[in-house]
Amino acid sequence: MNYQKPNVEPFMHSPKACVSCQSYEHQSFDEDKHCPFQRHSGLQENPTRTPYGQCSRHGVQVFATQICNAHAPDPHIECFDVVNRPEPREVIQEGMEV
């Protein structure tokens, strides 16, 4: 009897940003002047808080909406491209490949 590995297809869609990376661990929410979220009704104020967490690859705190060159998506998430935010939570020094 031959065992065949089941075909696992992505079951979730998420932006290609820290929030969908395997190196990201959510911590909390913080005030953010570049908060990308929109209000749900005309009675609410525009959101000002963005999720943030710890990046284990770079060892810094990042907003969930940041983008870096080392993005490692979860295999169950299908990522779509988004525009990077104007400023990071903390500056990340990307390593150059030699």
Q: Where are the domains of the chain?
A: 14-36+46-80
Instruction: Please write the tens of the pLDDT for every residue from 56-85.
Output: 999 999 999 999 889 999 888 899 999 999
Q: Does an H or E element contain 24, and which?
A: strand 24-31
Distance CA 56, CA 21 (A): 10
pLDDT of residue 3: 67
Higher-scoring residue by pLDDT: 38, 16? 16
Q: Is 3 within 8 Å of 57 (Cβ atoms)?
A: no
